[in-house]
A = this chain, B = another copy of it.
């Protein structure tokens, strides 16, 4: 507010400034350019992609440190991949999966993960109840759903306790949900759980690999979606430009002075523009200064939508040795730091690759350790899952999304109790010259790449419809 320096930086003019070169912002920018708009995309990092990030094993294999899967009904991301000339491939899910729980180890080849009969049935019933209830949620306005007031006052854990009495099924559900929310089930409201699951077509679709949210990947890495979009936008995408302030965004000012414009300020440049699309995770949108200040409920909505905590590990081996043992590589554990493992091999390498996730409270425990300690604990868990051979990876890559100052948590944001029904409507609602994009603002596949794309499309359409009215 008191920035003596703010007027010392050069000022440029454009039609629309997009804040954030994640897939949401890049999608919005592409659409606006197609409609003849002058667009600048400001990205704080020295790379595009946001929560899509590529990495490489020393062996040369490209692998994702961020989001990696796509699947059926994610029509927008599948269409984008095709349009950009990117090939997708179905993940390998052959062989038996492993479940570790209560100190025991189960092998199985179906969705029950080897839960004992009664618990398997209880879990099946729970999934059906969740998905039946999720189907009643108003995805455009979760706070207006039937029973929203009650669902918003209880945590998901409370709702699950009321819904499922089988202890093993209940514990299994918690671990499975942690792999979707990267948070414990007591850290978000029942309404949030049902809304989020509903946006992706239900828990069943979200939890399975083949035919579900973990069905396919992009050859060479899913992060190429963002990279190729950015390429086509050329020098409209400006890296290393953190947005510090958005001013004169308010509608009243616009009405008073129709030729007035908003101002977006980075450390080194100011952009005057007619529209701003903030395509950031809500917690990052909350870190920008707004002048005038945002309405309190918008500020509460974005600053209270906490992100999950997850550390993603990519572990490479000389060979996928688990195949010979008839194992798929899939592991769910209620007893270890690592709660979820998948075979993560790629068509361009014969090596074995596992992806392992440390999520929720486990991730917070890992946060206080060094990267070396974390890698060792993960490899120890993998040895416990797959035997001694697993203790000798060729390489371990890791990304702790809670340590990324320009993301501050993954996968997506969640609302605790009392938020969807009081401030939730402000999360995606345009405000003066600002539209809000990002996976958290999507009503279809919220929190996923597909949802991010849809949010970018919606934000671009909001801007274009305003231009139409001018």
Whether B241 lies near A2 (C-beta < 8 A) is: yes
Closest to A187 in B: B418
* Interface residue? A316 (CB, 8 A): no
Q: Is the CB of B153 within 8 A of A296?
A: no
Say yes or no: is A346 at the interface (Cβ < 8 Å to chain B). no
Taking a contact as CB atoms under 8 Å apart, the answer to whether B155 and A417 are in contact is yes
B361 near A267 (CB under 8 angstroms)?
no
The reply to whether B2 and A5 contact each other, CB–CB distance below 8 Å, is no
In the complex, identify which listed stretch (A317-325, A326-334, A386-394, A397-405) lies at the interface while the others stay far away: A397-405
**Considering the chains assembled together, what is the distance between the CA atoms of A90 and B349 in angstroms?**
78
| Nearest CB in chain B to that of A288: its residue | B287
| Given known contacts A153-B157, A242-B2, A296-B400, A283 and B267 CB-to-CB distance under 8 angstroms | no
Structural contact, A365 and B9, CB atoms closer than 8 A: no
Residue in contact with A418 in the complex, picked from B361, B400, B422, CB distance below 8 Å: B361
- Which of A113-121, A298-306, A452-460 is the interface stretch? A298-306
B2 near A267 with CB under 8 A, answer yes
Let me know if A364 and B187 touch, CB within 8 A: no
A195 CB to closest chain B CB (Å) equals 17
Q: Are A297 and B184 in contact (CB under 8 A)?
A: no
> Which residues from B are CB-within-8-Å of A257?
none
Interface residues on A, range: 35 or more
Are A5 and B9 interface neighbours, CB within 8 A?
yes
Binary per-residue interface labels of chain A (357-397) against chain B in the complex, 1 for a CB within 8 Å, 0 otherwise: 00001001101100000000000000000000000000000
Shortest beta-carbon distance from A451 to chain B in Å: 23
Decide if A158 is an interface residue (CB 8 Å cutoff): yes
Q: Is A233 an interface residue (CB 8 A)?
A: no
Chain B residues whose C-beta falls within 8 Å of the C-beta of A423 in the assembled complex: 364
A255 interface hit (Cβ, 8 Å): no
**Does A30 belong to the interface (CB within 8 Å)?**
no
Q: Which residues of B contact A368 (CB under 8 A)?
A: 295, 297
Give A423 to B242 CA distance when docked, in angstroms: 28
| In the complex with contacts A3-B267, A418-B187, A422-B361, A402-B299 CB distance below 8 A | yes
Given A416-B187, A417-B187: A1 in contact with B367 (beta carbons within 8 A) = no
Within A400-418, the residues touching B (CB, 8 Å) are 400, 402-403, 405, 408-409, 416-418
In the bound complex, residues from chain B placing their C-beta under 8 Å from that of A267 are 2-6
Cβ contact within 8 Å between B364 and A402: no
- Chain A at the B interface: mostly helix, strand, loop or mixed? loop
CB-CB nearest in chain B for A425: B368
Q: Which chain B positions have C-beta within 8 A of A9?
A: 5
A293 interfacial by beta-carbon distance below 8 Å: yes
| Given A3-B267, A154-B186, A297-B364, 10 additional A-B pairs, CB 8 A | A2-B241, A2-B268, A5-B268, A154-B158, A183-B418, A187-B418, A296-B364, A303-B303, A303-B306, A303-B408
Q: Which of A8, A240, A309, A416 has the most CB of B within 10 A?
A: A416
Give the residue among A240, A268, A296, A418 with the most B Cβ atoms within 10 A: A296
A131 CB to nearest chain B CB (Å) = 25
Query: Among the listed B155, B158, B309, B416, which residue makes an inter-chain contact with A296, where contact means beta carbons less than 8 Å apart?
Result: B309
Residues of B within 8 A of A402 (CB): 296, 299-300
Binary interface encoding of chain A residues 327-365 relative to chain B, with 1 for a CB under 8 A from any of its CBs, else 0: 000000000000000000000000000000000010011
Residues from chain B with a CB closer than 8 A to the CB of A408 are: 299, 303
Cα distance A153–B157 in the bound complex, in angstroms: 9
A314 to chain B, nearest CB (A): 20
Bound: A4/B405 CA distance, A: 18
A249 to chain B, nearest CB (A): 14
Q: Which of A5, A8, A183 counts the most chain B CB atoms within 10 A? A: A5
A149 CA to B182 CA, complexed, in Å: 19
Q: Tell me which residues from 34 to 48 in chain A have a Cβ below 8 Å from any Cβ of chain B.
A: 44
C-alpha gap A364/B299 in the complex (Å): 11
Give residues of chain A (1-58) contacting chain B, Cβ–Cβ below 8 Å.
1-6, 8-9, 44
The residues of B that contact A184 with a CB separation of less than 8 Å are 153, 417-418
Name the contact of A186 in the complex, choosing from B44, B153, B287, B297 (C-beta under 8 A): B153
Which 9 pairs across A and B sit closest by C-beta, in order of nearness?
A: A296-B402, A296-B367, A364-B422, A186-B417, A3-B267, A4-B268, A297-B367, A293-B405, A153-B186
